[in-house]
A and B are shown apart, each in its own frame.
Chain A
Amino acid sequence: MTEAVIDVQGLTKTFGTRRVVDRLALRVGRGEIFGFLGPNGSGKTTSIRMLCGLLTPDEGEGRCLGYDIRTQSALIKREVGYMTQRFSFYEDLSIRENLEFVAEVYELRNARAAVDAALNDLGLADRQRQLAGQLSGGWKQRMALAACLLHRPQLLLLDEPTAGVDPQARREFWAEIHRLAADGMTVLVSTHYMDEAERCHRLAYVAYGTLLAQGSPAQLVRDCGLSTFTVDGENLHALQAELLRLPAAEQVVPFGTSLHVSGAEEDALERQLQPYFARSELRWTRDRPRLEDVFIHLMRGRS
């Protein structure tokens, strides 16, 4: 891996009696798009807040952009762009006014030019006088991204950036992220969406505050130890109920007109599926597990 932009160990944060993040260790290299996955309430937002200096970790240490996350949070803030989960710009200001405010807070030289450039880059120039509160989800997200990029950060932290955004806008958003990463920006993005996870260079999966797995999407699928079969046919609903009774079939999930059957013990699964392979009305194929199967598997192993 190239030089590490984020390198933290043992990050722990407790709210009251609840340990939200438990000994998290992360290494993210320059220019990487790093996906941060996990169910709701798994500590993703808290972890991101600790990385950019909004929260002080109870335990653990590390560096972000070469600065100590405990003592140099003011310096980290200057070079990080953080896009919050919820739209958190001023809805009663126009797009332009919001960006101008951000430019002033970062004390940018040539603030005016920077705002103009950001408006053009993200196609917001025509709407610059519109109030942020009147924008649709996709445009709000675009404006938030423009605001986060205004001070040319080296690291972009995106907390569920595409929640509530339509597929077209999501695709454009990800194209932009890849463009930025190609130019050397490091991006850490949290998400629930598996299709988005597949667009990341590397992934970390966290649940209940702990890191469960880390690696590229292909690696995670290869190393998970799951075997998967796909079956097409009639009356799959009844079949699903039957298959779920098999001890080796951990997951039986409908996908459109087919079922995905996965289990960790390949031999046992094949043996128990034998009688169903024989049925003529069913068409079976051996398949690769999907990321979603992998993560559900990881989570079950955990609980």
Chain B
Amino acid sequence: MNALRVLSWRRLLAVVRKEFVQVMRDRLTFAMMVGIPVVQLAIFGFAINADPKRLPTAVVVESPGVYTRSLISAVEATGYFRLVESPDPRDAAALLEGGEVQFVMVVPADFERRLVRGERPAVLLEADATDPAATSNALASLEPLARSALRFDLDGPLAGGSGPPFEWRVHRRYNPEGITQYNIVPGLMGVILTMTMIIMTALGMTRELERGTMENLLSMPVRPLEVMIGKILPYVLVGYVQVIVILLAARFVFEVPMEGSLAWLGLCVLVFIVANLTVGITFSSLARNQTQAMQMSFFFFLPSILLSGFMFPFRGMPAWAQVVGEVLPLTHFLRLVRGILLKGYGVADSWPHLWPLMLFIVVVMGIGLKRFRRTLD
């Protein structure tokens, strides 16, 4: 009779128990099941901030004075701006272009004089608007300041008429219209490359191990380095095809500006692709089967998307999350690709974002090769 019943609790429980034992025995899967929620909680709960504050700002003061000081402290008091430097006017542009500051505020030489005369002088605020999300709230907080910042300084006869005593002149550099696609589309190039390059190589090598073809391969005269490079090269090509597709779409569909040299971008892409492939190879040497390789790839992919500045402003994250982000190759590539396409980075501008990628390659390749050798014996 038992065999005829549609659902037997005993049989059901037998399957449940078996499944449970299998999951527990696969330590990596189990770690992932616990690890992914923890990582997600940390990222979404603590790291991500769609309203970044304390953005680094350089202030160029051409007319020091009491009103300027009040203005600067009012700007700081919004919480969105953190004064990091008071550079020379010429250096300020370089700071902005290099991405070291998000804003440059210029108080012109005749500011104090014209203010007292009631001529409503302008204060220049240049913003790196590559990522509109990172700057829009900060810029919005400025508007009311024009009226309130100098409220207590300008009293009596200086209180003037009805309008604000000065005005903001905001320049959204690199992406003047604040078009999100300008930021997202180049970023997507990095995200897509990360995903395909890591998954492809991680699976490719693990597949050989899982199907037993690795043993056969190694009994033949082919050398480990030849296997490794031979497996990587086709994917480099695949990566370039992806880059071309994305660039075509960026140019003709989204009309993203392309300020820098595409040849230089192509070279930087190569460095980034290799960085990702070394991650994939390392995963494949750690994973025992393709499922594990896939899990590891996703475990790497998740912070790459969320902590690199692709989805959420990098400067909005707390210090620890920024440290994690700095380790990820995508973070540096995003700065590179956005810099080259939107800001027209040349070789010198790119270098600060290029060397971390190279360092990453050397370190991860070292780990991968060491692990790879061990799997042979």
Contact = CB atoms under 8 A, between A and B. Distances in A.
B25 interface: no
Nearest to A74: B221
A56 B222 contact: no
Interface string A72-111: 0010011010101011111100000000001001110000
B220 A88 contact: no
B219 A52 contact: yes
B220 A89 contact: no
A77 B377 contact: no
Contact of B213 (A56, A88, A105): A88
B215 interface: yes
Which of A52, A55, A82 is most buried by chain B, counting CB atoms within 10 A of its CB?
Answer: A82
A69 to B, nearest CB: 14
Nearest to A104: B222
Nearest to B216: A88
A77 B217 CA distance: 11
A106 B377 contact: no
B219 A77 contact: yes
A268 interface: no
Which of B219, B220, B376 is most buried by chain A, counting CB atoms within 10 A of its CB?
Answer: B219
A87 B213 CA distance: 8
A80 B216 CA distance: 12
A89 B214 CA distance: 9
A106 B215 contact: no
B200 to A, nearest CB: 15
Contacts of B215: 54, 84, 88
A78 B212 contact: no
Given A55-B377, A56-B377, A77 B211 contact: no
Contacts of B220: 77, 102, 105-106
Interface in B182-230: 211-222
Contacts of B221: 74, 77-78, 105-107
B219 A84 contact: yes
Nearest to A52: B219
Contacts of A82: 216, 219
B216 A89 contact: yes
A246 B217 CA distance: 53
Contact of A84 (B216, B222, B377): B216
Contact of A86 (B212, B217, B218): B212
Contacts of B216: 82, 84, 88-89
A116 B118 CA distance: 95
A151 to B, nearest CB: 9
B212 A84 contact: yes
A88 B222 CA distance: 15
A90 B377 contact: no
Contact of B212 (A88, A102, A107): A88
Contact of A89 (B213, B218, B222): B213
Contacts of A86: 212
Contacts of A54: 215, 218-219, 376
A88 B377 contact: no
Which of B211, B213, B220, B222 is most buried by chain A, counting CB atoms within 10 A of its CB?
Answer: B220
Interface string B221-254: 1100000000000000000000000000000000
A74 B219 CA distance: 9
A54 B211 CA distance: 17
Contacts of A80: 219
Nearest to A56: B377
B321 to A, nearest CB: 40
A77 B220 CA distance: 6
A87 B215 CA distance: 10
10 contacts: A74-B221, A77-B221, A80-B219, A84-B212, A84-B219, A89-B213, A89-B216, A90-B213, A105-B220, A105-B222
Give the 5 A-B CB pairs with smallest separation, nearest first.
A88-B216, A82-B219, A88-B212, A86-B212, A88-B213
Given A54-B215, A84-B216, A89-B213, 5 more contacts: A52-B219, A84-B215, A88-B211, A88-B215, A89-B216
Interface of A: 52-56, 74, 77-78, 80, 82, 84, 86-91, 102, 105-107
Interface of B: 211-222, 376-377
